[in-house]
Amino acid sequence: MLVTGLVYALHQDFWFWRTARPLVFGFLPIGLFYHAAYTVAIAGFMWYLVHRHWPSHLEDANERQRVSHASGAGIAGVPASERVGGSGGAKPPGKK
């Protein structure tokens, strides 16, 4: 929560509201440069959060479920070839 509040406060950059000077690299207004740097920093922070706190146990469970479906069990025990709208051009029951 504290980090979220800090990130929100830093995004506001009220200290650059009234002026475009100094120019960074001689042409880039300081407010625009600040937001570009802020975006890069936040992207790095989000990468860290995803890398560190991603719920991989849920991803592993999803992969196990996908493998069991691919093995022929299909959805609710119906093979893929017999499902309506499934892959392989399956036809509705009763139509050949």
Q: Note the pTM of the prediction, 2 decimals.
A: 0.54
Token look-up 């790095």 returns: 44
pLDDT for residue 44 is more than 80: yes
Read off the DSSP letter of residue 22.
Answer: S
Residue % of the chain over a pLDDT of 70: 65
Q: Are 60 and 52 in contact (CB under 8 A)?
A: no
Helix axes 2-12, 30-53, angle to 10 degrees: 160
In the block, residue with structure tokens 């880039």: 28
Residues near 29 by beta carbon (within 8 Å), at least 6 away in sequence: 20, 21, 23
Is pLDDT of 36 > 70? yes
